[in-house]
Structure 1
Amino acid sequence: MRVLTTAPLPRTSLNGRVPDSPRGPIGENWPGDPKRGAAILAGDIEFVGELVRNPSPAWFPSGAGPEWLAAWHGFGWLADLVSAGEAAREAARALIQSWLDTRPTRHPIGWRPDVLGTRISAWLMHLDELAGRDIDRPLRREMLASIAVQLRHLTRGLAPEGDGPAQLRTIKGLIGGFVALGGSERRVTRVLRLLDRELRRQILPDGGHRTRSPSVQLEVLRDLIDIRSALRTARIEPPPALRNTIEAMAPVLRLFRHGDRRLALFNNSVEEDGVLIDLVLTRSEAKGPAPPQAPHAGFQRLQAGQTLVLVDTGKPPPHGFDGHAHAGMLSFELSRERERIIVNCGGYRGPKPAWRRLARSSAAHSVLVVGDTNAVEIQEDGSVGQAAATVHWDRAEEAGHQWLMARHDLYEPRFGLTYARELYLTPDGDDLRGEDKLTGRAGVEFAVRFHLHPAVEASLAADNGAAVLRLPSGAVWRVRATGAAMSLGESIYLGSGEAKKTQQIVLSGTTGPDGAVIRWALRREPRPTPRT
């Protein structure tokens, strides 16, 4: 890794004397994870799926990946550490002092705009908690002086473009820093113009984020709530664009939630923390319910009784927002009450490129896959091939019966096939039926995959004509299919943030002269009547 070598930063303020008591609170006080904090205290420091034990040198351990370093220098983990008790808070003070004493030169990662913005926000949020005692006055002065220097550097170095969520973290740090250290309202207004531009660039008309990722939806909404809180602290009226964006994003976040209160696994998402999601939605102050669809983001929500089906009916995200996008168009997830049944594999959190590419593949989603090939190309630089994709969908509802029809032509250039999926959900939610149809060239192999949550126990009937799914609650679902051969295979579930072995049902076959039609049904079996 190349390190930029420059002179150490001077300990001067942004604009003259640094206040001893900055305005606060700057942003919302989000709860930390005590278990994660205890792990950091013990020297087991894990970010983005990469574990570094007792890092040495402390701030630039050899072998650490760039995103691990970005998270380490960003101090976004302070909330976790301080939640683990007084010994952990002392460790947090020592780590901040260590960073200040080391006075890292302008490392390309440690001084990246989004890392600067995250660090400024974290230090300001925990300033009083960690440096509020008389004994901590020297640390407080050093932290505030350093924040002023970092803020000045950030003001000069803010790039006009950049990764979407990272750009918003940068803006959050700027606004929080200006509010805390008494920056002029003119400066705040200038940054708010940048925020307005970014909101127009990143947020779709229905409130979805352009990455089409539930995890990013949560992250960005949380950052916007923090920005609004900082403006309220400064008694600056949040601009209409910010208020309206928060109001629009919250219902889409609700759309992505399963009955366990966690998120669906589309486009590099993991389940995330249900308590945090609750808190973000509460603090958004947006009362809108989960909509049945987000047409611009490209997602559908079918709900009947206690059954929920979430479907991806969107195109690949555009360039600049596709760096973590998955090739899972027309995939779906199914849950009943608090139990997930059919899932996608989820986003990979770790340093291994091969695992990341596997998680992004079409085969890692509950969808039909042609020729064991991704519906869209995942290129070497991580972006998604932007072929002229056509994705159509339509839905209908009558007396509680719900239908969804969707199709795309992403396999047409390579295989001469178009793909259509139809779903039907009964009013009681006990019966989900589907039809996957390929139209075009003969002689092409395909597989319809249904990845199962690790808690689901699956077995095949003796004739391989059906599969039985047993849930922890005792509920039983039966899968039947025609038009393809059914088998049971291994799979991996990444939704909890770590890899867990699970199973998948596979319906495989080869297209004939008229293509292929695979019909299937997922039915919940009635519970046996207890004997009297």
Structure 2
Amino acid sequence: MEQCLGQPMSWGATGLGKLWDYNLHYFEWLWGLQFEDAKNAIFHWIDKHPFSRNSVGWESYPISLRLMNWLGYWGTVGRWYFEADNFLQEKIWHSVFSQCDWLVRHLEKHLLGNHYFENAVALWIVGSFYEHPSAAKWKSLGSEILNEQLNEQMLYDGMHFERSPMYHSRFVYTLSWLTEIDEALGQFSFGFRDWYTKAIDAAGSVSHPDGKIALFNDSAFDIYPEVECQAQPEGAFSLHDAGYYGFRSSEQDYIIIDAGRVGPDYIPGHAHCDVLSFELSINGNRFITDSGVYNYEVCDSRHYSRSTAAHNTFGPVDHEQAEIWSAFRVGGRPNVEVSDWSPSSGYGFTLKARHDGFERRQCSYARHARRFVFSSDGKLLIEEHFSADDTLEWEGRIHFDPSVTLVEQAKDELFFESHSARMRLAVRGVERISMRKTPYFPKFNVKVERNCFTYFCKAKQGVIQVSMDWGI
């Protein structure tokens, strides 16, 4: 989605939602401008957007990203232009000073997570860019926070602790900046290279063969630069701390399963009800997908994208795995236990896991466990093991990529096609099945309709088998 903001640009509310306003003030778009246009855009912001407590542009997170983009642009692609223009240097310095002065007094300790990390990165980068007593203090403060937060926010398996592939991409991108600047200065102060290498390896695991991320939790395409990972090894992979398990085959088939906690206990705002959900690519193309994210506003689309129904999982009808409300709030959330992870060298894997999300929310003490059996020759078996104290109506959903069409349906078998792939899907142990249309949000503010296969059963307990075969 694109929007013309006029010339000269207006820095007030765009009317397109707060996320649009944030991105306007991040200045990520600066990198696509010629030097004179970039200079004019920055000067216009400085002249026409003075400090205001009520302005999105003066919130700490947009300040942090804007400082990185301003100094990143003039320190790399526009360096010779910047060094030849003393007035440009002075004007930017005075604005940077004002923004950093505000930032150090309003660090986002109340939010923590990626916001607090970006605050620290901005202070460290500004402190590395300028030789000034204040800049030295900013860098020292940024260093102190980075030392603390890198250990807090990177899981042992290399994944960012909020468990969003999109925010992990930003984490990797930011670490690449820190690594390049640190090594260019000859400091090697934090071992940023080691952190970066670990994070980029994890990014490869949560990326489909098309190079784009899996859409678990708050994730959408084209927000942050795609991570350029090395070719990923074939076979099973696991990020035990993040809870991501999967397989990558020589035929460009790829599956990833979310069998982990929804997020950090103290900051689960980017979490979705996607426990035991999965995504699948066949022959390099997406076939089964998550729902993505439409926006961060308090609205029906936001609530749906976070709901159990929006994901490829199973549970009692109209009940949630976690207590979600507002745009980022999460109350009671599930504990997740992986009881079996058995990768078979080069051939496939078995994964069995359970969670207590419905049970903890007193939904007749409903319990759900799921068993995945994946074979690299193009087969996937999913077993739903469920029970409750009372008879409930249970529902499972499989959301297909918009490119996938239903081409044939028999009594208990359905055939789907997309690109060069054909899948046979069969289900056992259910009372009825249906096809419906559901929304897909691959990018912010983008909504696409796609097919969803749904299966139902009314019982106190039982086992349902869903088998998929695309090696046909």
TM (norm. structure 1) is 0.79
Q: For residues 135 and 304 of structure 1, what CA distance do their matches in structure 2 show?
A: 53
Deviation of the 1:520 alpha carbon: 1.4
- CA 1:398–1:230: 2 relative to 1, 3 Å: closer
Deviation of the 1:424 alpha carbon: 0.9
Q: For residues 9 and 443 of structure 2, what CA distance do their matches in structure 1 show?
A: 31
1:261 is matched with 211
Q: Deviations over 1:85-144 (max 9, x none)?
A: x4xx54433221211212512334322222222111111122265681799543343112
CA contact (8 A) 2:121 2:146 kept: no
Q: Deviations over 1:62-85 (max 9, x none)?
A: 645433333222212212x32xxx
- CA 1:350–1:198: 2 relative to 1, 3 Å: closer
Deviation of the 1:432 alpha carbon: 0.9
1:295 is matched with 240
Choose from 397, 400, 415 the match for 1:468.
415
CA contact (8 A) 1:127 1:140 kept: no
Choose from 263, 268, 272 the match for 1:317.
263
CA contact (8 A) 1:432 1:522 kept: yes
CA contact (8 A) 2:155 2:241 kept: yes
Write the letter of the residue equivalent to 1:418: R
CA contact (8 A) 2:239 2:245 kept: yes
- State yes or no: 1:144 paired with 2:93: yes
Q: For residues 56 and 174 of structure 1, what CA distance do their matches in structure 2 show?
A: 30
- CA 1:139–1:120: 2 relative to 1, 3 Å: same
CA contact (8 A) 2:342 2:351 kept: yes
CA contact (8 A) 1:164 1:202 kept: yes
Q: For residues 333 and 203 of structure 2, what CA distance do their matches in structure 1 show?
A: 28
- CA 1:488–1:120: 2 relative to 1, 3 Å: same
- CA 1:291–1:349: 2 relative to 1, 3 Å: farther
- CA 1:174–1:187: 2 relative to 1, 3 Å: closer
CA contact (8 A) 2:179 2:196 kept: no
Q: Which moved more, 1:68-77 or 1:351-360?
A: 68-77
Choose from 406, 414, 419 the match for 2:363.
414
Q: Deviations over 1:157-210 (max 9, x none)?
A: 334453411222212211111111114667534421210111122221221212
1:451 is matched with 399
- CA 1:438–1:239: 2 relative to 1, 3 Å: same
CA contact (8 A) 1:346 1:493 kept: yes
- State yes or no: 1:165 paired with 2:117: no
Q: For residues 132 and 82 of structure 2, what CA distance do their matches in structure 1 show?
A: 26
1:209 is matched with 160
- State yes or no: 1:246 paired with 2:196: yes
Q: For residues 296 and 329 of structure 2, what CA distance do their matches in structure 1 show?
A: 18
Q: For residues 9 and 285 of structure 2, what CA distance do their matches in structure 1 show?
A: 44
CA contact (8 A) 1:270 1:494 kept: yes
Q: For residues 83 and 338 of structure 2, what CA distance do their matches in structure 1 show?
A: 64
Q: Which runs of 5+ in 2 are unaligned?
A: none
- CA 1:385–1:137: 2 relative to 1, 3 Å: same
CA contact (8 A) 2:165 2:216 kept: yes
Q: Deviations over 1:215-274 (max 9, x none)?
A: 01110111122122222233322313x343223212211110111111111001124489
Query: Is the radius of gyration larger for structure 1 or structure 2?
Result: 1
CA contact (8 A) 1:458 1:470 kept: yes
CA contact (8 A) 1:395 1:405 kept: yes
Q: For residues 261 and 393 of structure 2, what CA distance do their matches in structure 1 show?
A: 24
For residues 78-477 of structure 1, what are the structure 2 equivalents within 5 Å?
A: 78-79=30-31, 81-82=32-33, 86=34, 90-108=36-54, 109-127=56-74, 132=81, 137-183=86-132, 188-240=139-191, 242-272=192-222, 276-278=226-228, 281=229, 292-306=237-251, 307-349=253-295, 351=297, 353-380=299-326, 382-387=328-333, 389-398=335-344, 400-412=347-359, 413-428=362-377, 430-463=378-411, 465-473=412-420, 475-477=421-423
- CA 1:454–1:94: 2 relative to 1, 3 Å: same
TM (norm. structure 2) is 0.89
Q: For residues 297 and 103 of structure 1, what CA distance do their matches in structure 2 show?
A: 41
1:72 is matched with 24
State the secondary structure of the residue aligned to 1:236. Answer: coil
Q: Deviations over 1:365-411 (max 9, x none)?
A: 01113122111110336222234624334211346242111111211
CA contact (8 A) 2:408 2:416 kept: no
Q: Deviations over 1:320-368 (max 9, x none)?
A: 4311210010001111132111111112236462211100101000111
Q: Which runs of 5+ in 1 are unaligned?
A: 1-35, 46-52, 527-532
Write the letter of the residue equivalent to 2:238: Q
**CA RMSD after TM alignment:** 2.8
Q: For residues 134 and 277 of structure 1, what CA distance do their matches in structure 2 show?
A: 31
Size of the aligned set, in residue pairs, is 461
Choose from 486, 497, 502 the match for 2:450.
502
CA contact (8 A) 1:252 1:290 kept: no
- CA 1:275–1:95: 2 relative to 1, 3 Å: closer
- CA 1:489–1:460: 2 relative to 1, 3 Å: farther
CA contact (8 A) 1:450 1:504 kept: yes
CA contact (8 A) 1:445 1:509 kept: yes
- CA 1:93–1:190: 2 relative to 1, 3 Å: closer
CA contact (8 A) 1:178 1:188 kept: yes
Write the letter of the residue equivalent to 2:467: A
Q: For residues 396 and 381 of structure 2, what CA distance do their matches in structure 1 show?
A: 14
Write the letter of the residue equivalent to 2:154: I
- Tell me the percent identity: 23
Q: For residues 272 and 289 of structure 1, what CA distance do their matches in structure 2 show?
A: 26
Q: For residues 388 and 352 of structure 1, what CA distance do their matches in structure 2 show?
A: 23
Write the letter of the residue equivalent to 1:502: R
